[in-house]
Structures are given as structure tokens and as C-alpha cells.
Amino acid sequence: MNLFAGARALFLAPHTDDVELGCGATLARCVEECDTVDVAVFSSAAQSLPKGLPSDHLKKEFYAAMDVYDIPQDRLHVFDYQVRRLNYSRQDVLEDLVQLRLAIKPNIVFTPSGGDVHQDHQVVHNESLRAFKTSTVLGYELPWNNFNFESRVFVAVSPGHLAVKHKALQAYKSQIEKNRRYFDPEFINGLASVRGIQQGVKYSEAFELVTLKV
């Protein structure tokens, strides 16, 4: 079963780099196979930037990353919620998700996993369940935030898809300069290799199965 054939896919990111880190190779495959691909970001995390950088720096890095995927800007949706404060705006987040549902009509949605402990990620996960009851919903993994992660769906990705993921992540120079280890290609390839072994292919990305509508 190819979930991507004829799909209208929506990728949800609490922060600007979450989709690329959690399922960036899957995004590259979806761009090739899905009918439409939209990416929505809820916070450009201006408060987390190193001192001296303009407040829209991460937003610009996100757009540069999306250029690597060749996703047009009219398919990108960037909201300006304050980082680590999405729980104060749950209803607003839900209303934005509902508007995305009405505009895009996605039949497959990628969201942070239910076991992600980051407070912003929990909000996006929980509100996405309310907004997309009639869609297939898959939760992507960010291992540094997951104490529990049930890998129930595996998406095979090629070395080329991984190369796109690596190139896109290089756009986030402000984060790489912080020496965040999860940007390390060795870590990314290692996790994709582990998930590939579980699926019986060379590389894969794993997802929590939230809902499946076929």
C-alpha cells in the first residue's frame, strides 16, 4: 500500500526545524509522489535565537530549507506563536489547524508523536487529532524528546531522500552553531539505518500510527 499515491499531505511542525529533523527524508519522498505537499510551522522560535540575530532569522532558514525540497511558498504556512507558549493558545492553534484542513483537505497528516514530551509538540499533536479526525495521521519521532515511541509505520527512503534531508538541515546554521547533536549526519544516517533494518530495507523513517483511513 502506497499512502502517498494521490495524497494531499500536510506536515505539521511546532518549530521551524521539526519536520526536517523528524521526517525530512519522508518529506523528500512525498514531494516526489504526493499530489500536493504543505508544511505548517507554528513558531519560528525567535526567543531561542542566539543574541544579535534578527527575530525572523529562523523563519528565513526555514524558507531556505524548503527551497531544497522545491516546495513553493504558497504551500508554506508560518505562524508566529511564542516558543514554549503554545499551551496558552491551544484554541487558536486548533482554529489555525481547522483552517488548514478546510483549505488543503489533506488525507495524510504528519504531526509530532504522542509521546513527545516537549510542551509545544504536545499541543500540536493533541490539537491535530481534533482537527484531522477524518485523515490518516502519523506521528514522527524526535528521539531526544521521546521516552516512549511506538514505531508502527515505516516509510522506506532512498539515499537520495536522505541527502535532501541533510542538505535542508544545513540551512539551519543558527542551530548547527549550537552544536545540537541531532543535526549530525552520523546520527541521522544511523537512525535511518536502524529503522531500515526493522523494515527490511537500507533506510527508513518510523512513525507512530495515530489513525489510518483507507
Distance (Å, whole) CA 182 – CA 30: 22
Task: Classify the phi-psi angles of 107: left when phi > 0, otherwise alpha if psi is within -120 to 50, otherwise beta.
Answer: alpha
Identity at 26, one-letter amino acid code: T
List pLDDT tens digits, range 9-53. 999 999 999 999 999 999 999 999 999 999 999 999 877 677 778
DSSP letters for 81-94: PPTT-GGGGHHHHH
Residue 92: band (very low, low, confident or very high) from pLDDT cuts 50, 70, 90: very high
pLDDT at residue 2, as a whole number: 86
Residue 203: band (very low, low, confident or very high) from pLDDT cuts 50, 70, 90: very high
Distance (Å, whole) CA 88 – CA 214: 35
Distance (Å, whole) CA 156 – CA 136: 18
Distance (Å, whole) CA 200 – CA 197: 5
DSSP letters for 29-81: HHHHHSSEEEEEEEE--GGGSPTTS-TTHHHHHHHHHHHHHT--GGGEEE--P
Q: Tell me the mean pLDDT in the region 160-167.
A: 98
> Is 80 exceeded by the pLDDT of residue 162?
yes
Q: In the numeric block, which cell numbers belong to residue 18? A: 521539526
Given the DSSP bridges, would you call strands 203-211 and 136-140 parallel, antiparallel or unpaired? Answer: antiparallel
Q: Tell me the mean pLDDT in the region 123-129.
A: 98
pLDDT at residue 28, as a whole number: 98
